[in-house]
Structure 1
Amino acid sequence: MFDQDIAPDVVEFGPGDADLAVVCNMHGDEPTGARAIQRILKPSPEFERAVKFIVANPPASILHRRFLDVDMNRVFPGDPKANDRERRLAAQLVAETADCDTISFHTTHATPEPVAFVSEGKPRALEIVSQLPIAYVINETPVVDGAFSSTGPVVSIETGKVQQPNSVAKAEMLIQAFLNNEGAVSEEPPMHAPVTNYFEIFDKIEKPPGDETYELLARNFERVEEGEAYAKSEEGFLLADESFVPVLMSQSGYGEIFGFRGRKVGESAEDAKEAWLDEEK
């Protein structure tokens, strides 16, 4: 059905060469970002800077599947000659956004509130996200390999829970904030961040093998102390062997893990810079 010529779908608005990008549908079963982009573009806004709007994985989106061959958000920077379609698409997306400040949209099973992911060593991504109205920003570099955020000034945003209508409204609000803050449109005043908490993840939280009776007790972004139960099942309680902050924990979001163990690094972009942009890293 799809041959070697598949490519991300790109439309561009505004004068000059685009140096801003909004990406959606990296996972084909997450249409929230695409629906938010449609809302943004429907009134035909006048763009003062050129912006690319990109559907990252068109074939998976047509079939409403997360991916066709491999998870696209785990194979960056991709490979233009790969047999796996997502690896080819990843390489094309990197080329398409090479000169752009970029935000990319996803949805989650874990939390109804928007959560942003960046990679350490990317100061521009940290600057972009610090100006968005997002309460939680996470450095995913220590645990996640091959993420889109590792490729440049990219902020990946989980806008809320899968298939919840308000996730589209939140994505629309964040796209509008990004475009306003970067001077691409000026129909609304710039939107600034509330108090933002910065975290980094340091480990995965494994599910008990062969046990489907578990119930999560921990809440995302609420600290779990050493020895405290974070889940239970018919087999007993799962106790923390060290203190951690749960990040994107859910019962059904991932196959073999609940989510991630994290630690808080601060409440300002300066705290995050000190933690993530150290020259020794």
Structure 2
Amino acid sequence: MFDKDVSPDVTVYGPGDPELAVVCNVHGDEPTGARAVHRVLASGPEFERAVKFVVANPPASAAHRRGLDADLNRVFPGDPEADERERRLAAQLTEETADCDTVAIHTTHATPEPVAFVAEGDRRAVEIAAELPVGPVVNETPVTDSAFASTGGVVSVEAGRVEQPNAVAKAEMLIRTFLHAEGALPAAPPMHEPDAEYFEIYDRVEKPPGDESYELLARNFEPVAPGEAYAKSAEGLLTAEESFVPVLLSQSGYDDIFGYRGRAVGGTVDDALDAWVEGGA
């Protein structure tokens, strides 16, 4: 039996009661966020507001595994009495960040550029995402309604590719930008501000069962037209029945899917708020 006292690792820096949080290692095999946090703290910043820095899944991180009993990013809000470690951790992480604007750092196999994910109806998350140097902002609720972002006030960011050194630098920039925008750090990092685009995912792109010879042809966030091939394998081409925008498509990121089908919502915060939040902009 595992230690049922397992909990996230939480450290607070700065004066006052923390209303901001930076979360890393939701998945234990994604160390980029923790390395970026270490860089931020090693520079000796003078915090002007209190910030919680949270290692979400310490046991999976120690084992360098995505999860030990479940995928932590699919079991929110969790259960403090569950037999699965990740469900207990989800409940504790939900409580730890309940009163905080939060950015959670992830990495992906799909794209080297940062992508932000928010929950439908969460005005604050959309506003936080708009502060970050991120191009695509994606509403993930139609497909993944038990992710960390569903707890409210949380933006989950794929900072770059798994285990790529430049992903750490991008994650550090994202953290510093968030903390500066929220008044916790005095100086903003120099950065390139990409043009924001807003999308929502609505379905999964399934992999052919039993076929490992596939090759992706589509590029993430570039629309695929009806009848266009988005992948090929020894069995032939996979073509789109209807147009879609590929989101987090990769050959190795998931066991049973390539990624997700998405659609464009607009190019402004107001477009996103009108589409996802009651009362809109």
Range into which the TM-score falls when normalised by the shorter chain:
over 0.9
Contact 1:134 1:194 in 2 (8 A): yes
Counterpart AA for 1:9: D
Structure 1 residue 44: Cα displacement = 1.6
Shift of 1:231: 0.6
| Aligned counterpart, 1:108 | 108
Find runs of 4+ consecutive structure 1 residues off by over 2 angstroms: 187-194
What is the number of residues matched between the two proteins? 280
2:75 aligned partner: 75
Q: Does the 8 Å CA contact 2:176/2:189 hold for their aligned counterparts?
A: no
Equivalents in 1 of 2:192, 2:102: separation in Å? 17
TM-score between both structures, scaled by the size of structure 2: 0.97
- How does 1:176-215 map onto structure 2 within 5 Å? 176-188=176-188, 193-215=193-215
1:140-151 aligned at under 5 Å gives the runs 140-151=140-151
Shift of 1:63: 0.8
Displacement of 1:147 in angstroms is 0.2
Gaps in structure 2 of 5+ consecutive residues: none
Aligned partner letter, 1:86: E
* Cα deviation digits, residues 174-194 of structure 1 (max 9, x gap): 000001000001033697943
- Equivalent position of 1:232 in the other structure: 232
| Alpha-carbon distance in 1 for matches of 2:107, 2:195 | 22
- The superposition leaves residues 36-77 of structure 1 with CA deviations (integer Å, 9 ceiling, x where unpaired) of 000000022111100000000000001111100000000000
SS at match of 1:205: strand
- Secondary structure in structure 2 of the residue aligned to 1:241: coil
User: Partner amino acid for 1:274?
Assistant: D
User: Is contact 1:227-1:242 (8 Å) kept?
Assistant: yes
Which letter does structure 2 place at the counterpart of 1:29?
D
CA–CA distance in 2 between the matches of 1:150 and 1:190? 31
Residues 22 and 103 of structure 2 are in contact (CA less than 8 Å); yes or no, is this contact kept in structure 1?
Answer: yes
What do residues 114-135 of structure 1 show as CA deviations (whole Å, max 9, x unaligned)? 0000001000000001011101
Does the residue aligned with 1:141 lie in a helix, a strand or coil? coil
> Which residue does the alignment assign to 1:37?
37
Q: Per-residue displacement from partner, 1:146-197 (whole Å, max 9, x unpaired)?
A: 1000001000000010010000000000000001000001033697943101
Q: TM-score, normalised by structure 1?
A: 0.97
Deviation at 1:2, TM superposition (A): 4.3
RMSD over aligned Cα atoms? 1.4
Contact 1:200 1:262 in 2 (8 A): yes
Contact 1:180–1:190 under 8 Å retained in 2 = no
CA distance in 1, matches of 2:192, 2:218: 30
State the match for 2:19 in structure 1: 19
Which residue number corresponds to residue 268 of structure 2? 268
